[in-house]
Amino acid sequence: MGDDAVNFALVPILSLMLALPLVAAALCLFVRADAARWIALGATVLTLVLGIGLWAGYDLAGPQWQFVERVPLFGRFAYALGIDGIALMLIMLTVFLMPICIAASWRSVERRVPEYMAAFLLMETLMIGVFTSQDLLLFYIFFEAGLIPMYLIIGIWGGARRIYASYKFFLYTLLGSIVMLVAMLWMAREAGTTSIPELMNFDFDPQAQTLLWLAFFASFAVKMPMWPVHTWLPDAHVEAPTAGSVILAGVLLKMGGYGFVRFSLPMFPEASAELVWLVFGLSMVAIVYTSLVALVQADMKKLIAYSSVAHMAFVTIGLFAFNRQGIEGALVMMLSHGLISGALFLCVGVIYDRLHTREIARYGGLSNNMPQYALLFLLFTMGSVALPGTSGFVAEFLALVGAYEANSWVGFVATTGIILSAAYMLYLYRRVAFGVLDKPDVAAMPDLSRREWWILAPLAAAMLWMGIYPESFMAPMRRDVGTLMARIERANPDGDAQVERGPAARPGIVHAEAAAH
């Protein structure tokens, strides 16, 4: 790519962001528990600072791929890094959540702390790696390698059925990805390159696209997760330690959506259009079915896990709506869900640390003795329900507008998800926070500590920021969505809504409207 030459970074900031947690992880293994905690916190905060630098240095009017680094390795493979706006936002989500995860594990993890911190830091490197790779093989290595630390996190520090959950998580995800690997090998031969930006502009034969699309779908659908391959998620969430759940829900699930945006849509537009019914079908089932399942859960983490499946279905619907509102909504949904579900898992963690149970029925009346907690928990509940003013609203509104434009029935079914999410989230909140405070051990629980405030407040602030002024987050992604739209436009299936632009509407207003919501 000729224009790479102009946007090579002076400082290899992406490599730095990869190396910093990795070095800290190695350091953690050689020190005692307390030192490991501080090293981990320091490293994640430093990475966050680097991330903020990345965002500040990202040029909205610059080339599509920025901060590019490229070192040819062996054969056809290269160490190629670079980000566009979509990757930038997901990296920001990752580096933002990591210090919170470390802080959340400060006291709740007592056993084998150095290894725990090392696993988390390794995880951070691998997650950033996924979002920055510009080479197929490099992407696959980061994508897959994340399984190892997560397997250890669930298996060592997890709950009672941790062994089962860790195996299920590992093997499920591995099976999905390995199919993708074979497809990648075929693509690399067919296109003669492993560079992701080049492949994004390579036109594969439509017949081959279908098989390739399905191979990638196998991987991303498991990762996302989509119904019916979502069953590893509730198990993994329930058994993982709190911070593990946050990372899992906050970032790992986003790799599926990222994969659709980065691979499935731009590389196989025809196949995406052809198989849109599959995505819509599975997503609609997911929204209705997993929402209903969430309604009857007795375990808080399981409930939130099922709600994640339902929320991620909005992402798939939005992405495959083939229009700007849908895709932007899906992307905001990924960010918003990362914040909100992470916050909800942290809220569960707060009371789990006190009572050591996740059973909803064991709680009740928390608003009496833990008013601050009840306030924040309510805020995040409302975010999950997509109340206007929270980031969830922006995301779901845009995704549903997009879905309606593509197919009004999909829009209709998906909208029921909002009602259902209000039902299960408010029902959860009522049982935990309201009611009579009649259990003595629950009544004895102290309100949020200063540390817990520091964990939850940034999430609340970010969620409100994204809800009130989403433009900050959508601006870096807008041009990349436009590029993607231009790429997939030729395959865009006809929607059934046949939307006509009204007489008063002029170009540009659509954006302004989207931003204002």
Which residues form the interface with other proteins (CB under 8 A)? 73-75, 112, 115, 137, 140-142, 144-145, 147-148, 151-152, 155-156, 162-163, 166-167, 170-171, 174-175, 178-179, 181-182, 185-186, 188-189
* Min dist. Cβ of residue 12 to other proteins (A): 18
CB of 189 to other proteins, least distance (A): 6
Quote the least distance from Cβ 11 to other proteins, whole Å.
23
Q: Which residue, chain included where needed, has tokens 């869900």?
A: 337
Comparison of 125 and 381: residue with beta carbon closer to other proteins: 125
Of 165 and 305, the one with the shorter C-beta distance to other proteins is 165
Q: Which is nearer to other proteins, 182 or 509 (CB)?
A: 182
Q: Cβ of residue 73: shortest distance to other proteins, in angstroms?
A: 7
Shortest reach from residue 292's CB to other proteins, in Å: 31
What count of residues does the chain have?
A: 517
Q: How far is the CB of 357 from other proteins (least distance, A)?
A: 22
Place of tokens 């931003």: 515
Under the phi-then-psi rule, with left for phi > 0, alpha for psi from -120 to 50, and beta for the rest, what region is 353? alpha
At its nearest, how many Å lie between other proteins and the CB of residue 186?
Answer: 5
- Sign of the Cα pseudo-torsion (112, 118, 120, 123, in order): negative
Give me the DSSP letters along 243-298: HHHHHIIIIIHHHHHHHIIIIIHHH-HHHHHHTHHHHHHHHHHIIIIIHHHHHT-S
Secondary structure of the chain: what % helix, strand, coil (to 5)?
Answer: 75, 5, 20
Nearer Cβ to other proteins, position 33 or 148?
148
Closest separation between CB of residue 283 and other proteins, Å?
Answer: 26
User: Hey, what are 238's tokens?
Assistant: 């329930």
**Under 8 Å CB-to-CB from 309, ≥6 apart: which residues?**
225, 226, 227, 230, 233, 286, 290
Q: Which is nearer to other proteins, 79 or 454 (CB)?
A: 79
Please enumerate in sequence order all residues whose Cβ is within 8 A of that of 268, keeping only pairs 6 or more positions apart, or say none: 204, 209, 210, 212, 213, 216
Rg (CA), the chain: 22
Residue 144 CB, nearest distance to other proteins (Å)? 5
* Residue 495 region by backbone torsions, left for phi larger than 0, else alpha for psi between -120 and 50, else beta: beta
Please identify, using beta-carbon distances, which residue of 106 and 167 lies nearer to other proteins.
167
Q: Which of 472, 407, 517 is nearest to 509 (CA)?
A: 517
The set of residues, in sequence order, having a beta carbon less than 8 Å from that of 38 and lying 6+ positions away, is none
Closer to other proteins by CB, 181 or 443: give it: 181
* Complex with other proteins: residue 147 or 406, whichever CB lies closer: 147
Nearer CB in complex with other proteins: 185/355: 185
